[in-house]
Structure 1
Amino acid sequence: MGKVTGFMEYGRLSEANLPVNDRVKNYKEFVLHLSDDQAQTQGARCMDCGIPFCMSGCPINNIIPDWNDLVYRQDWRNAIDVLHSTNNFPEFTGRICPAPCEAACTLNINADAVGIKSIEHAIIDKAWENDWVKPQVPASKTGKKVAIVGSGPAGLAAAQQLARVGHDVVVLEKESRIGGLLRYGIPDFKMEKSHIDRRMEQMRAEGVEFRTGQNVGENVSAEQLTKEFDAVILAGGAEYPRDLPVPGRALDGVHFAMDFLTPQNKVVAGDTIPNQIMATGKHVVVIGGGDTGSDCVGTSNRHGAASITQFELMPQPPEKENKELVWPNWPLKMRTSSSHEEGCDRDWSITTKELIGENGKVVALKGARVEWKDGKMVEIPGSEFTIKADLVLLAMGFVSPVQKVLDAFGVEKDARGNAKASTDGEGCYATSSAKVFAAGDMRRGQSLVVWAIREGRQCARAVDEFLMGSSTLPR
Structure 2
Amino acid sequence: MGKPTGFMEYQREKGKEVAPLKRIKNWGEYAYKLSDESLRKQGARCMDCGTPFCHMGIEIRGATTGCPINNLIPEWNDLVYRGKWQEALNRLMMTNNFPEFTGRVCPAPCEGSCTLAITDPAVSIKNIERTIIDKGFENGWITPRIPTIRTGKKIAVIGSGPAGLASADNLNQVGHSVTVYERADRAGGLLMYGIPNMKLEKEIVERRVHLLQQEGIDFILNTEVGRDITAEELKLQYDAVILCIGAQKQRALHMEGSNAEGVYLAMDYLTSTTKSLLDSNFADGQFINTKGKDVIVIGGGDTGADCVATAIRQNCRSVVQFGKHPQLPASRAEDNQWPTDPNIFKLEYAYEEANAKYGKDPREYLIQTKKMIKDKDGRLKELHTIQMEKILGEDGFYFFKEVPGSEKIWPAQFVFVAIGFEGPETSLTEQFGVKVLNKRIAASAKDYTTNVEGVFAAGDARKGQSLIVWAIKEGQEVAKRVNDYVTNKAVVR
Fold match by TM threshold 0.5: yes
Q: Aligned with 2:241: secondary structure?
A: strand
The TM-score normalised by the length of structure 1 is 0.96
Q: Aligned with 2:441: secondary structure?
A: coil
Q: Which residue of 2 aligns with 1:218?
A: 227
Could you tell me how far 1:455 is from its partner in structure 2?
A: 0.4
- Counterpart CA distance in 1 for 2:324 and 2:152 is 53
Q: Which residue of 2 aligns with 1:48?
A: 48
Please say if residues 27 and 189 of structure 1, whose CA atoms lie closer than 8 Å, have aligned partners that are also in contact.
yes
Q: Which residue of 2 aligns with 1:266?
A: 275
- Counterpart CA distance in 2 for 1:323 and 1:214 is 50
Please say if residues 2 and 45 of structure 1, whose CA atoms lie closer than 8 Å, have aligned partners that are also in contact.
no
Question: Which ranges in structure 2 are unaligned for 5 or more consecutive residues?
Answer: 57-65, 355-360
Give the 3 Å change call, closer, same or farther, for CA 324–50 of structure 1 in structure 2.
farther
Q: Which residue of 2 aligns with 1:26?
A: 26
User: Of the candidates 441, 447, 450, which is equivalent to residue 419 of structure 1?
Assistant: 441
Q: Which residue of 2 aligns with 1:461?
A: 480
Q: Which residue of 1 aligns with 2:456?
A: 437
Relative to structure 2, which stretch is displaced further, 183-192 or 368-377?
A: 368-377
- Counterpart CA distance in 1 for 2:466 and 2:313 is 26
Give the 3 Å change call, closer, same or farther, for CA 324–397 of structure 1 in structure 2.
closer
Give the 3 Å change call, closer, same or farther, for CA 176–351 of structure 1 in structure 2.
same
- Counterpart CA distance in 1 for 2:153 and 2:131 is 37
1:184 matches 2:207 = no
Please say if residues 2 and 68 of structure 1, whose CA atoms lie closer than 8 Å, have aligned partners that are also in contact.
no
Please say if residues 272 and 286 of structure 2, whose CA atoms lie closer than 8 Å, have aligned partners that are also in contact.
no
- Counterpart CA distance in 2 for 1:135 and 1:459 is 23
Could you tell me how far 1:381 is from its partner in structure 2?
A: 1.1
Q: Which residue of 2 aligns with 1:106?
A: 115
Q: Aligned with 2:130: secondary structure?
A: helix
Correspondence list, 1:119-268, <5 A: 119-268=128-277
- Counterpart CA distance in 2 for 1:313 and 1:81 is 44
Could you tell me how far 1:214 is from its partner in structure 2?
A: 1.3
Could you tell me how far 1:433 is from its partner in structure 2?
A: 0.7
Q: Aligned with 1:51: secondary structure?
A: coil
Could you tell me how far 1:376 is from its partner in structure 2?
A: 2.0
Residue type at the aligned position of 2:304? G
Consecutive aligned runs of 4 or more in structure 1 exceeding 4 Å deviation:
271-275
How big is each residue's C-alpha offset from its partner over 1:158-206, in whole Å with a ceiling of 9 and x where there is no partner?
1010000000000000011111111010000000011111111211121
Could you tell me how far 1:357 is from its partner in structure 2?
A: 1.3
Give the 3 Å change call, closer, same or farther, for CA 411–312 of structure 1 in structure 2.
same
Q: Aligned with 2:100: secondary structure?
A: helix
1:295 matches 2:306 = yes
1:348 matches 2:365 = yes
- Counterpart CA distance in 2 for 1:73 and 1:275 is 50
Q: Which residue of 1 aligns with 2:13?
A: 13
Q: Aligned with 1:127: secondary structure?
A: helix
Q: Aligned with 1:54: secondary structure?
A: coil
How big is each residue's C-alpha offset from its partner over 1:335-358, in whole Å with a ceiling of 9 and x where there is no partner?
221011001521110000001111
1:387 matches 2:410 = yes
Please say if residues 440 and 463 of structure 2, whose CA atoms lie closer than 8 Å, have aligned partners that are also in contact.
yes
Residue type at the aligned position of 2:472? I
Correspondence list, 1:90-105, <5 A: 90-105=99-114
- Counterpart CA distance in 1 for 2:236 and 2:284 is 37
Q: Aligned with 1:364: secondary structure?
A: strand
Q: Aligned with 2:199: secondary structure?
A: coil
Could you tell me how far 1:275 is from its partner in structure 2?
A: 5.0
- Counterpart CA distance in 1 for 2:209 and 2:325 is 40
1:371 matches 2:382 = no
Residue type at the aligned position of 2:456? F
Q: Which residue of 1 aligns with 2:338?
A: 327
Could you tell me how far 1:276 is from its partner in structure 2?
A: 2.2
The TM-score normalised by the length of structure 2 is 0.93
- Counterpart CA distance in 1 for 2:337 and 2:147 is 44
Please say if residues 260 and 374 of structure 2, whose CA atoms lie closer than 8 Å, have aligned partners that are also in contact.
yes
Question: Which ranges in structure 1 are unaligned for 5 or more consecutive residues?
Answer: 471-475
Give the 3 Å change call, closer, same or farther, for CA 469–227 of structure 1 in structure 2.
same
Relative to structure 2, which stretch is displaced further, 93-102 or 397-406?
A: 397-406
**Alignment size in residue pairs:** 466
1:66 matches 2:78 = no
Please say if residues 244 and 461 of structure 2, whose CA atoms lie closer than 8 Å, have aligned partners that are also in contact.
yes
How big is each residue's C-alpha offset from its partner over 1:75-107, in whole Å with a ceiling of 9 and x where there is no partner?
000101100110000000000000000000000
- Counterpart CA distance in 1 for 2:20 and 2:347 is 14
- Counterpart CA distance in 1 for 2:428 and 2:32 is 40
- Counterpart CA distance in 1 for 2:388 and 2:335 is 29
Could you tell me how far 1:314 is from its partner in structure 2?
A: 1.3
Q: Which residue of 2 aligns with 1:473?
A: none
- Counterpart CA distance in 2 for 1:255 and 1:438 is 29
How big is each residue's C-alpha offset from its partner over 1:258-306, in whole Å with a ceiling of 9 and x where there is no partner?
1111011111212565552111000100000100000000100100010
CA RMSD of aligned residues (A): 1.3
Please say if residues 30 and 198 of structure 2, whose CA atoms lie closer than 8 Å, have aligned partners that are also in contact.
yes
Residue type at the aligned position of 2:320? T
